[in-house]
């Protein structure tokens, strides 16, 4: 029997606000000593009163809008009661009945990432059930007979995003999560870094006979610290469950953990009677009313997202899917690319210019940034400005310099921030396009290498490259290669006896 996998993802995203969700403690504590970013509120002291972080609510609304969700105009906070040492109050402030965001969807391009790059992608729509705001817990560390707790993370704003069970493969889950990560980065509301715990994902998964429209028994997988782990754990579970079902067995409803070292899932918890969280309205916080004006002001802050830009680059500039994906991987790069195009002096040839800019960014710019250890999202802090790249491209297009010289000039702009045109002038790098001058050099080379000229005449094309090289050498690389090519052909033909 053939089985089909059904997957729904629950994802927690830490919002990158300056302060915590309900107190003034700094939420930026990376590298700080344990328990140094705490106060009576986030330590759960009796009598301490929470206050809502407006910025966190706006960040959550931004994500909701980017995920095409409806935004609740009225919502309130609820206490989700459970006991664990990393939760000092004994309850978490969350949203249950009325999530801030609900009924949304996201479109993702699914590519088989294991088989390398594919120009083809399947576009899938995954529905978002809800996205609600809550607070993070502290962090437990276990060592020998001791456990340590650090409350720096306690009270950090957390957005929980839950999909409908619309995902149908490990690759699709991977595509959804990378798209979500890219969205929160584009919005600037979270690093989305799974390795650092800023994004945490729990897949729910079940199998059913292909063609069936009921759901099978689901398991939940925890402890996934990377996008790859999510894909691997899902692929592992599909295989394990298929084997059990084919052998006539039954799937137990359990919570699993992913063991990265052994590359397998392990049972963490057997099915327990449904949790009773005893939700009830948080009496210390007022309900949230979201006005039309506030919602529209937040909506206005949402930039064009990666997938929309990819489609536009392909439609308006005829770029390949590959180029479009590379250029939009980081918002800063996409913005930089677009700014370069805005400075183009020839709007009618935008597609050609776009292709040139795309090539320069993906080869020389990325190479130099890598060599100088500049992360791609810092592209606005480097010395080269978008207009300078455009100037360089125009110098090549006009024939003032050739491509090789342009690469040297680009490196110099990268180091000094000087304008390409100024560098070309100061260093006398403009290429030689003067025909009499070039003809003289070509003739010298031809008469100095009679044997090679004969070889070219006998059809040995490779030797033509050697003669080209001699001319370039004699002009210190500044000759207009196209002209040299033409003049050299003529001179060789003329020497045929
Ligand atoms: P629970 O109450 O166990 O947390 P929910 O109904 O809240 O379950 O759903 C949690 C997540 O699991 C959602 O993303 C949902 O889409 C997904 N889900 C629900 N049922 C199934 C199923 N049978 N198979 C796979 N995923 C499921
Ligand atoms: Mg659940
Ligand atoms: Zn605090």
What are 54-64's pLDDT values in tens digits?
A: 999 999 999 99
Looking from the CA of residue 6, the nearest atom of ligand 1 is 25
Ligand 1 pocket: which of 8, 161, 203, 209 to mutate (most atoms within 8 A of CB): 8
- According to the model, what pLDDT value does residue 380 have? 98
Looking from the CA of residue 9, the nearest atom of ligand 1 is 14
- C-beta pairs of 428-432 under 8 Å, 24+ apart in sequence: 429/401, 429/405, 429/478, 430/400, 430/401, 430/478, 431/399, 431/400, 431/401, 431/402, 431/405, 431/478, 431/479, 431/480, 432/475, 432/478, 432/479, 432/480
Gap from CA of 204 to ligand 1 centroid (Å): 6
- According to the model, what pLDDT value does residue 114 have? 62
Going from the C-alpha of 489 to that of each of 55, 454, 483, the distances in angstroms are: 69, 12, 10
Q: Report residue 486's pLDDT band, with 50, 70 and 90 as the boundaries.
A: very high
> Average pLDDT for residues 406-432, to the nearest whole number?
95
Looking from the CA of residue 215, the nearest atom of ligand 1 is 23
Tell me: pLDDT of 497 over 80. Answer: no
Q: Report residue 115's pLDDT band, with 50, 70 and 90 as the boundaries.
A: low
Tell me: pLDDT of 6 over 80. Answer: yes
- According to the model, what pLDDT value does residue 117 have? 66
Instruction: Answer whether 206 contacts ligand 1 (Cβ < 6 A).
Output: yes
- Please enumerate in sequence order all residues whose Cβ is within 8 A of that of 89, keeping only pairs 6 or more positions apart, or say none: 44
**Strand ranges (E), 244-358:** 255-259, 264-269, 280-281, 288-289
Distance CA 487, CA 493 (A): 10
- Please enumerate in sequence order all residues whose Cβ is within 8 A of that of 377, keeping only pairs 6 or more positions apart, or say none: 330, 331, 332, 333
- According to the model, what pLDDT value does residue 113 have? 59
Going from the C-alpha of 241 to that of each of 27, 85, 203, 206, the distances in angstroms are: 41, 34, 15, 8
> Average pLDDT for residues 126-137, to the nearest whole number?
98
Tell me: pLDDT of 178 over 90. Answer: yes
Distance CA 149, CA 162 (A): 28
Question: For the whole model, what pTM was predicted?
Answer: 0.90
Q: Looking at the CA of 138, name the nearest ligand.
A: 3
- According to the model, what pLDDT value does residue 274 have? 67
Q: Do the beta carbons of residue 230 and residue 237 sit within 8 Å?
A: no
Side-chain-side CA neighbours of residue 394 (13 Å): 18
Instruction: Answer whether 203 contacts ligand 1 (Cβ < 6 A).
Output: no
Tell me: pLDDT of 445 over 70. Answer: yes
- According to the model, what pLDDT value does residue 346 have? 86
Q: Looking at the CA of 130, name the nearest ligand.
A: 1
Tell me: pLDDT of 20 over 80. Answer: yes
Gap from CA of 169 to ligand 1 centroid (Å): 16
Distance CA 392, CA 412 (A): 12
Gap from CA of 220 to ligand 2 centroid (Å): 8
Q: Give the least confident one: 185-189, 225-229, 279-283, 346-350.
A: 346-350
Tell me: pLDDT of 99 over 80. Answer: yes
Instruction: Answer whether 217 contacts ligand 1 (Cβ < 6 A).
Output: no
Q: Report residue 250's pLDDT band, with 50, 70 and 90 as the boundaries.
A: very high
Q: Give the least confident one: 115-124, 131-140, 353-362, 383-392.
A: 115-124
The CATH architecture one would assign to domain 435-494 is Orthogonal Bundle (1.10)
**Strand ranges (E), 76-152:** 78-81, 91-94, 101-110, 122-135, 139-143, 146-150
Instruction: Answer whether 167 contacts ligand 1 (Cβ < 6 A).
Output: no
Chain position carrying tokens 């009830």: 280
Looking from the CA of residue 163, the nearest atom of ligand 1 is 14
Exposure of 445 by Cβ count < 10 A (0-12 exposed, 13-18 middle, 19+ buried)? buried
Instruction: Answer whether 10 contacts ligand 1 (Cβ < 6 A).
Output: yes
Tell me: pLDDT of 112 over 80. Answer: no
pLDDT digits (tens, 9 = 90+) for 257-275: 999 999 999 999 886 666 7
Label the pairing between strands 146-150 and 157-163: unpaired
Tell me: pLDDT of 172 over 80. Answer: yes
- According to the model, what pLDDT value does residue 116 have? 63
The H or E element containing residue 242 is: helix 227-246
Gap from CA of 220 to ligand 1 centroid (Å): 9
> Average pLDDT for residues 4-26, to the nearest whole number?
98
pLDDT digits (tens, 9 = 90+) for 424-442: 999 989 988 899 999 999 9
Distance CA 288, CA 269 (A): 36
Length of the chain in terms of residues written: 497
- According to the model, what pLDDT value does residue 110 have? 93
Q: Report residue 253's pLDDT band, with 50, 70 and 90 as the boundaries.
A: very high
- According to the model, what pLDDT value does residue 272 have? 63
Tell me: pLDDT of 489 over 70. Answer: yes
For the chain, which residues make up each domain, given as ranges?
10-197+272-297, 306-427, 435-494
Gap from CA of 49 to ligand 1 centroid (Å): 34
Q: How far apart are the first and last CA of the chain?
A: 79
Instruction: Answer whether 486 contacts ligand 1 (Cβ < 6 A).
Output: no
- Percent of the chain whose pLDDT exceeds 70: 98
> Average pLDDT for residues 335-340, to the nearest whole number?
98
Tokens of 6: 């059904």
Ligand 1 pocket: which of 10, 96, 163, 204 to mutate (most atoms within 8 A of CB): 204
Instruction: Quote the mean pLDDT of the chain.
Output: 95
């Amino acid at each position: 029997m053939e089985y089909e996998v059904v997957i729904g993802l629950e994802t927690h995203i830490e919002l990158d606000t300056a302060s915590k969700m309900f107190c003034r403690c700094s939420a930026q504590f990376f590298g700080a000593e344990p328990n140094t970013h705490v106060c009576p509120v986030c330590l759960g002291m009796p009598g301490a009163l929470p206050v809502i972080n407006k910025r966190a609510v706006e960040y959550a609304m931004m994500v909701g809008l980017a995920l095409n969700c409806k935004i609740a105009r009225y919502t309130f906070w609820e206490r989700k009661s459970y006991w664990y040492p990393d939760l000092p109050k004994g309850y978490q402030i969350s949203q249950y009945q009325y999530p801030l965001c609900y009924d949304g969807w996201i479109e993702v391009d699914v590519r088989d990432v294991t088989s390398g790059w594919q120009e083809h992608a399947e576009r899938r729509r995954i529905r978002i059930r809800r996205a609600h705001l809550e607070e993070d817990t502290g962090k437990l560390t276990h060592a020998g007979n001791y456990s340590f707790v650090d409350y720096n993370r306690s009270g950090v704003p957390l957005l929980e995003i839950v999909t409908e069970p619309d995902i149908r493969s490990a690759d699709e889950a991977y595509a959804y999560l990378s798209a979500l990560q890219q969205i929160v980065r584009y919005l600037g509301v979270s690093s989305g870094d799974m390795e650092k715990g800023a994004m945490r994902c729990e897949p729910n998964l079940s199998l059913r006979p292909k063609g069936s429209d009921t759901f099978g028994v689901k398991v939940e997988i925890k402890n996934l610290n990377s996008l790859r782990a999510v894909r691997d754990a899902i692929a592992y579970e599909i295989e394990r469950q298929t084997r059990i079902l084919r052998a006539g067995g039954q799937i137990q409803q359990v919570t699993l953990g992913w063991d990265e070292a052994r590359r397998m899932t392990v049972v963490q918890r057997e099915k327990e009677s449904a949790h009773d969280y005893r939700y009830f309205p948080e009496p210390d916080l007022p309900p949230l009313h979201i006005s039309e004006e506030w919602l529209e002001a937040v909506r206005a802050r949402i930039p064009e997202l990666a997938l929309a830009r990819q489609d536009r680059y392909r439609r308006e500039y005829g770029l390949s899917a590959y180029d479009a994906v590379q250029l939009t991987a980081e918002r800063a790069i996409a913005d930089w690319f677009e700014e370069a195009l805005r400075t183009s002096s020839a709007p009618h040839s935008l597609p050609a210019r776009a292709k040139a800019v795309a090539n320069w960014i993906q080869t020389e710019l990325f190479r130099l940034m890598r060599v100088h250890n500049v992360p791609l999202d810092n592209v606005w802090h480097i010395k080269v400005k978008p207009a300078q790249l455009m100037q360089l491209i125009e110098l090549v297009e006009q024939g003032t310099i050739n491509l090789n010289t342009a690469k040297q000039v680009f490196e110099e702009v990268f180091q000094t921030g000087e304008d390409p045109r100024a560098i070309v002038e100061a260093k006398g790098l403009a290429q030689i396009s003067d025909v009499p001058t070039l003809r003289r050099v070509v003739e010298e080379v031809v008469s100095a290498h009679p044997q090679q000229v004969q070889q070219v005449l006998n059809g040995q094309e490779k030797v033509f490259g050697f003669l080209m090289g001699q001319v370039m050498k004699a002009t210190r690389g500044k000759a207009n290669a196209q002209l040299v090519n033409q003049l050299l052909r003529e001179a060789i033909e003329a020497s045929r006896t």
